[in-house]
Every structure is written in C-alpha cells, then in structure tokens.
Amino acid sequence: MQHVPVLLEESLKYLVTEEDGKYFDGTMGFGGHSSALLNKVSPNAVLIGTDKDKQAFQYLKNKFIDDKRVKLYNTGFTDIDIISKIEFIDNFDGILVDLGVSSFQLDDPNSGFTYREDAPLDLRMDKEKGISAAVVLTKFAPEELTEILFKYGEEKNARKIVRAIVESRNSKTISTTKDLREIIEPIVPQRFLNKSLSRVFQALRIYVNDELEELKIFLKKAVDLLSTDGRIVVISFHSLEDRIVKEVFKYESLSCVCPPEAPICVCDKEQRLKILTRKPVVPTDIEIKNNKRSRSAKLRAAQKI
C-alpha cells in the first residue's frame, strides 16, 4: 500500500516538543506521519490514533502490532474526548490531523473514491454511518444537489450537471461511479472533464462525511484537550477546510472579542492559542514534483497557552 505523507518534516517540526509526550493522530491513514513521529519520541511516549476507514485500521493494527506506545481506534477523530477518557489521558502534547482521503483510498478500484474506476458510488469513510453518495444523487431535490456541488466542489457547471442527473435518474438508477461519470461526460468539454469529475466527487465526499462540521467540532475539542505549550497541526487540502482552521485558530488566539467601540472589555474571552504559522505552510516545488497529491496541501500550527 502506498501513501506518501505530505509535509512530513514540517508537520513534525511543529508537532513534537516532548520526547515522553502524549500524541494524537486523528487521521492515521497508513501511518506515515505516525511512524516518523514514533521515531522521534522516546519509548515512554504514547500515540493514540484514529481512522474511520476499516481497511486503514486493519493495516495500522498490523503495522504497529509490536509498538506498545500505540493505541488505535477505528472511529472518527471527533471522538478524541471519549478516547482520552478511556485512555485516562487528561491532555495531549501534540495533536495532528491530515485531512481528506489517502492515496490508497483514491487508488483502490473497489473503494469508490475515484471516478477512474467503476465501483459502488458510496464515498463514505465509515460505511455504517450516514447515507451514500448514490442515495444523495437519487433522492435529493435538484436545488440541494446544486448547492452541494457549488459549495463543496466550487463546480461552475453545477446546474448543468444536476439537470443531467435528474433527467437520468428518472429513467435509470445511479448506483456506481461509472453511472455518474457517464452522466457528466457528455455535458462537460473533454479538456475540463477530469477537473469537473474530481470536483463533483470531492463535493459529494465532503457532504456525505459531513467533513466541515466534523472539523469544527474536532478543533474545539482538540484545543480543550491540549496541554499548556501543546501543539496542534492541521494539514488540509480544500480552501473551505483551510478557512475553518484559520478562523478557529484566529478566534482562539484573541484575548478580547468586544466590538472596537466598546469602552472596556466585557467579553471575558480567554486567549487559548498562539498561532505558529502566520501564513499556511505549503509543499516545496520538489515535494509537489515527487508527490502530485501534495499540491493543494496547507499546514497550519498553533500552540496552547
């Protein structure tokens, strides 16, 4: 299985401050970031990892079977608060999430995450929760579908694509990635086709996994659970995700949110973070050349006060 961890050196530089620390990797994937972290910390360190994906979880269990520092959970990273209670951990010294899907999920012909292979049109990371992309395309009103494609995919042809989906679903079922591809192919110019397909698949994936809401919930819990001087590092691949991270970090780094015209501060706002990356860290040209999937990555890091 091949997944090249993105912004590896940069993420560890911000994340690891305590050799004997307690760490949380919310998107363990294929353990790329985690392995490098474990190489940097002592035998007394602890690493709690989550991944929603069953296959990733099975792979991780084998990979880290002999490392007693590692505890794995096949669940969403928003369970960080529940897991920390189960593990009797009050605070983490470092918390990492590397959002989105892994190369394995994208490349696996059966995963349904790619329009390049024919598979059931599902797009959920945890297939037991929520509804599949096929159900969304079959049941949702045209206006709702258009909003999903505009909002999460920034797809300019959203209206045209949704019209074609609605026309098609009146006569046949849409249940596979190929079904969706065949609907989009005739209506988007060939030279934009792959970009349009990626955007539509991305939009549906973000929607069925409720990715933006989960990120907001997670960031709040993560800041609560960081120890003083503990670090949070987020790698995102979508402008809406990056905006959420930027805004949450900014809010948590303010000591007052009173309107500027207020004569004295009455908001009781507590500054909880110091931002470590004024601008997001992005991959070098060499990293992008060696790993195309890194091209849209943005890393932001902050430290608990």
Ligand X SMILES: C[S@@+](CC[C@H](N)C(=O)[O-])C[C@H]1O[C@@H](n2cnc3c(N)ncnc32)[C@H](O)[C@@H]1O
By CB under 6 A, name the binding residues for ligand X.
3, 5, 26-27, 29-33, 50-53, 56, 76-77, 98, 100-102, 125, 214
**Cβ 6 to ligand X shortest distance, Å:** 7
Sign of the dihedral through C-alpha 165, 168, 171, 172 = negative
Sign of the dihedral through C-alpha 27, 31, 37, 43 = positive
Rounded Cα distance between 2 and 221, Å, is: 31
**Cβ 132 to ligand X shortest distance, Å:** 16
**Cβ 195 to ligand X shortest distance, Å:** 20
**Cβ 302 to ligand X shortest distance, Å:** 19
State which residue, 63 or 159, has the beta carbon closest to ligand X. 63
Sign of the dihedral through C-alpha 120, 124, 129, 132 = negative
State which residue, 4 or 166, has the beta carbon closest to ligand X. 4
Rounded Cα distance between 103 and 96, Å, is: 18
State which residue, 6 or 134, has the beta carbon closest to ligand X. 6
Three-state SS at 61? helix
State which residue, 14 or 164, has the beta carbon closest to ligand X. 14
Would you state the structure tokens that stand for residue 157, as one six-digit string? 């042809």
Sign of the dihedral through C-alpha 13, 221, 149, 30 = positive
Q: For residues 252 and 271, is the Cβ–Cβ distance under 8 A?
A: yes
Rounded Cα distance between 253 and 202, Å, is: 31
**Cβ 176 to ligand X shortest distance, Å:** 21
Rounded Cα distance between 87 and 96, Å, is: 18
Would you state the structure tokens that stand for residue 86, as one six-digit string? 């189960």
Residue in the block written with tokens 């995919």: 153
State which residue, 31 or 283, has the beta carbon closest to ligand X. 31
**Cβ 52 to ligand X shortest distance, Å:** 4
**Cβ 79 to ligand X shortest distance, Å:** 8
State which residue, 56 or 70, has the beta carbon closest to ligand X. 56
**Cβ 57 to ligand X shortest distance, Å:** 9
Parallel, antiparallel, or unpaired for β 273-275 and 298-304? antiparallel
Residue in the block written with tokens 């909002």: 151
State which residue, 59 or 165, has the beta carbon closest to ligand X. 59
C-alpha 78 chain-centroid distance: 11
State which residue, 5 or 230, has the beta carbon closest to ligand X. 5
